[in-house]
Structure 1
């Protein structure tokens, strides 16, 4: 199927990384998301709307395992990548709404008690509850071990004090998977996780953060915020490993989202170049334009191969129940780094090709230019991915 500005090329679905179920999933999602019309001028209202629609459409069932009402036996990285790629092609905010349901509840899927999984995961899959992942702090982003927020054992359970910031879905979430120090002297080995309902006394999520590509973000303040003992998520002091396992699942899906935005930018560039006339011919007739389009396509395909490989590696390892043949974390880091960086280059070239229209507020390439920028930062900045990959290389040759 040829790509247009409203329909992506699906040739990549024929690659051997996917099976027929993945191909059917992507092709079923295409007409559904293309038929949606959401007013995104108010990002918080729009995000709630997207969660509701994605839940009613059955797409959020891919964010939880079958035991909790999910579509598949376990979280499937390739399904997540394809879903995010397709959603991001049409609406980066729809992609955000989908992704946060998975990331925000992922720690419960991995380590939640039977009661926690019963109380939260089904509601996440239906779109009845909005999830959030609360890890970053004002002085602890990439350096998770520098976390200052503390959780102290109390007669009623645990008392949480501190701040979290840059929290996606902050202020609209129904619950937060929160990470805090339970052993302040132990660095990253002294972190534990908790499920905190949004209406818990002592939690203030009113400090909204405005960013260049609007989506719900907030700073969370915890002051004498007491949760029950049963709110503990996983083992005491096992929070760092749990957070990293959660991010490992969804890091390749960030690359999927970047691919979707890049594919949309290429489709917009092709459409514009094919219709924009100058000097008696179309922009597409110029060899310089053709060279740029070729470079954009190569950047997308190279990132796609790394992305699909990383997702396949994780799924294959989970399916066989054996250690992976390669370093899954490094593969996901390569995918995330290359897909987000390449997408930024592709979108920049598409904007340049549009000339003055490219910077006009309201055009698709202008919004994509703002949307893509944060992907190079969140869930591990590009520099962090480089460190992960470099350490993996050193391990492989020593």
Structure 2
């Protein structure tokens, strides 16, 4: 891939993904119950090899995968992305035993994963986590400071996708107080651990999202992902990979809205001719197309930088997520306006996209957080080069 286009193999793969999403995955999505994990859909993602591809992909392939699925079926895209978000810490930081237990199940679409970072008082500010991991040396062999050291998790997580129906959770908890991000540990917590409960939340977009309550949930060193007190890096590694791909999801929605708008304005007659011949309409379509293409290129550039191990990935990932999600909001909103009242009817593609497009500007770091990251990294670069 050059900086400006996909090669023929990539283009062909994207078209195949879009067709798969429209023809095979969308019917399964439509049979699902809003607000609940759609296990048949996840099983189909596994059977088609897409979960395998997602876990083995670099950032660029992940972006192409998410963008293409989003153009054809947003529910399939979201189900795949949530599997990746919840299982990527296991892939990158898990022990051989953890990986052997869970990753084959994720790849096959049999186990549902979840990424449990956000809390009622610590959404975008991941360093402010308060879920308490109190030392409990009696949970395993050895002393409290030895190899059998354990913890009890107490507190609450909120806005957790796939909760409370996931089979396991990547949970971030505070093991050392008073040291900010340096005192956070990542744990792999199976859903059947005693003391772990949750409830679903009714959201604008009908995704499976809920809360988790930890009432002295036992975990041991065998459940740690990475190292104790180093879990913040596990979270950031995951987010740096997935933030550009959130932008790809947004680009996919923007492209779907643009496709629908081109078809509608070319075929709809008003004031003696097709809508596309009205300058007010054609200029809006031109703006939609330009912003969508700019967002697409920014996402690809951030993903390519991640895969190449270049410097400045957090800044570029933040730019990609910020611009793409804000662009998708604009494009979908404009598409609704150009379609008129028909786009507001339940079941219309744009009515669906209008509800879907709002959340990505908030999750995995709100737009305001992305602007903060971009500004901070920009000033740091200036100081480093001065």
Query: Are the structure 2 counterparts of residues 17 and 284 from structure 1 closer, same or farther at C-alpha, using a change threshold of 3 Å?
Result: closer
Instruction: Measure how far apart 1:34 and its partner are.
Output: 2.1
2:183 maps to 1:183: no
CA distance in 2, matches of 1:21, 1:62: 15
Instruction: Measure how far apart 1:188 and its partner are.
Output: 1.3
Contact kept in structure 2, 1:168 and 1:216, CA below 8 Å: yes
Q: Residue in 1 aligned with 2:267?
A: 275
Structure 2 residue runs without a partner (length 5+):
140-149
Instruction: Measure how far apart 1:143 and its partner are.
Output: 1.6
Q: Residue in 1 aligned with 2:74?
A: 92
Please say which of residues 352-361 and 20-29 is displaced more in the overlay.
Answer: 20-29
Query: Are the structure 2 counterparts of residues 266 and 176 from structure 1 closer, same or farther at C-alpha, using a change threshold of 3 Å?
Result: same
Instruction: Note the alpha carbon deviations across 1:9-44, whole angstroms, 9 max, x for none.
Output: xxxx88656556644532332322221212255135
Q: Residue in 2 aligned with 1:374?
A: 359
2:29 maps to 1:47: no
Instruction: Note the alpha carbon deviations across 1:311-370, whole angstroms, 9 max, x for none.
Output: 0111122xxxxxx1x401100100000000011001110000011112222211111111
Q: How many residues align?
A: 369
Instruction: Measure how far apart 1:128 and its partner are.
Output: 1.1
Picking from 10, 13, 19, the partner of 1:25 is 13
Q: Residue in 2 aligned with 1:8?
A: none
Query: Are the structure 2 counterparts of residues 23 and 283 from structure 1 closer, same or farther at C-alpha, using a change threshold of 3 Å?
Result: closer
Runs of 4 or more, structure 1, over 6 Å off, are none
Please say which of residues 81-90 and 278-287 is displaced more in the overlay.
Answer: 278-287
2:159 maps to 1:196: no
CA distance in 2, matches of 1:234, 1:166: 24
Instruction: Measure how far apart 1:213 and its partner are.
Output: 0.8
User: SS at the partner of 1:266?
Assistant: helix
Query: Are the structure 2 counterparts of residues 347 and 305 from structure 1 closer, same or farther at C-alpha, using a change threshold of 3 Å?
Result: same
User: SS at the partner of 1:28?
Assistant: helix
TM-score by length of 1: 0.89
Q: Residue in 2 aligned with 1:385?
A: 370
User: SS at the partner of 1:200?
Assistant: coil
Q: Residue in 2 aligned with 1:170?
A: 163
User: SS at the partner of 1:35?
Assistant: helix
CA distance in 2, matches of 1:24, 1:274: 26
2:109 maps to 1:102: no
Instruction: Note the alpha carbon deviations across 1:108-153, whole angstroms, 9 max, x for none.
Output: 1111111111111111111111100000000011122221111123
2:123 maps to 1:141: yes
Q: Residue in 2 aligned with 1:68?
A: none
Contact kept in structure 2, 1:18 and 1:78, CA below 8 Å: no
Picking from 249, 253, 266, the partner of 2:245 is 253
Instruction: Output aligned runs, 1:287-326, within 5 Å.
Output: 287-317=279-309, 324=310, 326=311
CA distance in 1, matches of 2:13, 2:251: 17
Structure 1 residue runs without a partner (length 5+):
1-12, 66-74, 318-323
Contact kept in structure 2, 1:47 and 1:93, CA below 8 Å: no
TM-score by length of 2: 0.92
CA distance in 2, matches of 1:47, 1:310: 31
Instruction: Note the alpha carbon deviations across 1:152-188, whole angstroms, 9 max, x for none.
Output: 2321132111100000000221100000000022221
Contact kept in structure 2, 1:43 and 1:214, CA below 8 Å: yes
Instruction: Note the alpha carbon deviations across 1:59-101, whole angstroms, 9 max, x for none.
Output: 0002324xxxxxxxxx411111011101111222111100011
Q: Residue in 1 aligned with 2:101?
A: 119
CA distance in 2, matches of 1:311, 1:236: 29
CA distance in 1, matches of 2:15, 2:339: 30
CA distance in 2, matches of 1:110, 1:20: 31
CA distance in 1, matches of 2:346, 2:304: 38
User: SS at the partner of 2:247?
Assistant: helix
Query: Are the structure 2 counterparts of residues 221 and 78 from structure 1 closer, same or farther at C-alpha, using a change threshold of 3 Å?
Result: same
User: SS at the partner of 1:336?
Assistant: helix
Please say which of residues 77-86 and 149-158 is displaced more in the overlay.
Answer: 149-158
Q: Residue in 1 aligned with 2:380?
A: 395
Query: Are the structure 2 counterparts of residues 41 and 361 from structure 1 closer, same or farther at C-alpha, using a change threshold of 3 Å?
Result: farther
CA distance in 2, matches of 1:136, 1:180: 10
Contact kept in structure 2, 1:44 and 1:172, CA below 8 Å: no
Q: Residue in 1 aligned with 2:23?
A: 35
Query: Are the structure 2 counterparts of residues 194 and 144 from structure 1 closer, same or farther at C-alpha, using a change threshold of 3 Å?
Result: same
User: SS at the partner of 2:188?
Assistant: strand
Contact kept in structure 2, 1:17 and 1:308, CA below 8 Å: no
